[in-house]
Chains A and B, each alone.
Chain A
Amino acid sequence: MAQKNYAGKQIEVTEEGYLVSPDDWTKELAVEMAKEDGIELSDKHFEVLEYLRKEYAAGTALSIRKVGKSGIVDIKGLYSLFPGGPLKLSSKYAGIPKPASCV
């Protein structure tokens, strides 16, 4: 475990940078997290993040296929929003645990 300063607060994160507690999440924190990877979050990004947070809270096992069928963005769009890590990066910025799925 480690601590990181996001939006003026000390936040508990895992070694890979995922939030330990999804309740620590704020929009400002997501913006700062994405900036570290050189990604500027748009409204579309936030639609995806909010969808992921909602599904995670409902206990859904997430996959890019599910996000692609959410009606928010197709899979190609998801890759262009979160280059190099469509599910990993989006989960990280959404403040939910690292995805455990193989698809």
Chain B
Amino acid sequence: MSEVIKETPLKKVMIICAKGTVEDVYAALIMANGAVMEGIEAKLFFTFFGLDAITKKYMNKLHTSTVGNPALRMPGGLPFPTLLGALPGVEAGVSAMMKKQMDEMDVPPVDEFLDMITAGGGEIYACKLAADMFKLTKDDFSEHVKDIITVGELYAMSGGEGTQIIFT
């Protein structure tokens, strides 16, 4: 007789993003948006360089690194030389190309993405320690940022059966 395994459905995800590259930020945004679309409660917590994703001045200007990124390839599949990636303007160009490709896949710019997530009931938070360190206040952040919170407050929100904390 086969054993019946009872699974606990996922009810809430706490997603933490600590980096500010296009791929790190979008991984967090896509996971959060995907959660609310499935009826799963989602809270997104941005810390350290991840704060760029919610800082008005930088949120729509994120870059992907063209230096020291072995998975980055030229169109056609040849490896992207690190020295080429170090030239002025190359990182901006590659990042712009990536964003264009994402737009074609219906992946929106960061501000619009935050809009979509909060429209679905998702919540966006900034880390207090990192905000203090980078001298950022609520005024620097997108209107979608609900609050600047401590790690203790983050854990206090993480209770309940079927909750997962995901560090992207």
Question: A residues bordering B, Cβ < 8 Å?
Answer: 61, 63-66, 68, 74-76, 79, 83-88, 101-103
Contact = CB atoms under 8 A, between A and B. Distances in A.
Interface stretch (B16-24, B105-113, B159-167): B105-113
Given A103-B106, A103-B107, A64 B115 contact: no
A86 B38 CA distance: 8
Contacts of B30: 102-103
Contact of A103 (B38, B105, B119, B121): B105
A34 B112 CA distance: 30
B57 to A, nearest CB: 24
Contacts of B38: 84-85, 88
Mostly, the A contact residues are loop
A74 B38 CA distance: 18
Interface string B113-143: 0011001110000000000000000000000
Contacts of B121: 79
27 contacts: A63-B106, A64-B37, A65-B112, A65-B116, A66-B106, A68-B119, A75-B115, A75-B116, A76-B119, A76-B120, A79-B36, A79-B119, A79-B120, A83-B39, A84-B39, A85-B37, A85-B38, A85-B39, A88-B37, A88-B38, A103-B30, A103-B33, A103-B34, A103-B105, A103-B106, A103-B107, A103-B108
Contacts of A84: 38-39
Nearest to A75: B119
Contacts of B120: 75-76, 79, 86
Interface of B: 30, 33-34, 36-39, 105-108, 112, 115-116, 119-121
B37 A87 contact: yes
A102 B31 CA distance: 9
A102 B39 contact: no
A86 B122 CA distance: 14
